[in-house]
Structure 1
Amino acid sequence: MTRNTSYSPQAPDRASLEDSEGDLLLEFGTDWCGHCQAAQAGIARALSQHPALTHLKIEDGKGRPLGRSYSVKLWPTLILLRNGQEIARCVRPLEAADVNRLLQA
């Protein structure tokens, strides 16, 4: 699967995420965020071991209701959904091992 390199300003609605099947990784952040930029190498390394996992990079911030609906407060925040339900999250991962722990949930 091709990985997104930028955060998309077009967020899916919460209902469609809750109706999803299988595993889905949501990544909330912004392209200009230093923490988000620093985390990208580790996230990419971890995701390279999970090529079938759908990964959505969602731009977050003021006026962005999806992040608020998941109580996102810091960037990047990664949320793993299984069949539309949150099963784990990781806030400000520093290395691939942080993301790997999330993906093993």
Structure 2
Amino acid sequence: MEPVTITNENFQSEVLEAKGTVLIDFWASWCGPCRMLAPLVDQVAAEHSDVKVGKVNVDEQQELAAQFGVMSIPTLIVFRDGQKVNESVGLIPKENIESLIQ
């Protein structure tokens, strides 16, 4: 499944009201580690059709980043049935991303 762009406007419907697991990637275009993590997140999205993957550009969606205390990027946050259940900060290998969503 292709990652969804998450904004203030669609966060409620795409994440909080979603059934199942949602992985959110907080990133920015100028962030080197974010650019390195992005293909791994995309692979996880492609290989796990049961997981919705969303991306939040922290420069464009500063309120969402602040709401979840994102101080460093990349940050991955996992929601299950609308509840935050896991979080990781920094560049991590694909195996660790898959562990986050289990």
Which deviates further from its counterpart, 68-77 or 13-22?
Answer: 13-22
* Contact 2:3 2:55 (8 Å CA) reproduced: no
Q: Which runs of 5+ in 1 are unaligned?
A: none
Q: Distance in 2 between matches of 1:41 and 1:63?
A: 21
Q: Which runs of 5+ in 2 are unaligned?
A: none
What RMSD over aligned residues (CA atoms) do the two structures have, in Å? Answer: 2.4
Report the TM-score, using the length of structure 2 for normalisation: 0.79
Q: Distance in 1 between matches of 2:3 and 2:60?
A: 25
Matches within 5 A, 1:25-104: 25-61=23-59, 64-104=62-102
* Contact 2:8 2:63 (8 Å CA) reproduced: no
Which deviates further from its counterpart, 44-53 or 8-17?
Answer: 8-17
Letter aligned with residue 26 of structure 1: I
Letter aligned with residue 98 of structure 2: N
Matched residue, 2:8: 11
Letter aligned with residue 25 of structure 1: L
Which structure has the highest helix share of the two?
Answer: 2
Q: Distance in 1 between matches of 2:6 and 2:86?
A: 23
* Contact 1:46 1:97 (8 Å CA) reproduced: no
Report the TM-score, using the length of structure 1 for normalisation: 0.77
Q: Distance in 2 between matches of 1:102 and 1:91?
A: 12
* Contact 2:21 2:50 (8 Å CA) reproduced: no
The Cα shift of 1:54 comes to 1.3
% identical equivalent positions: 23
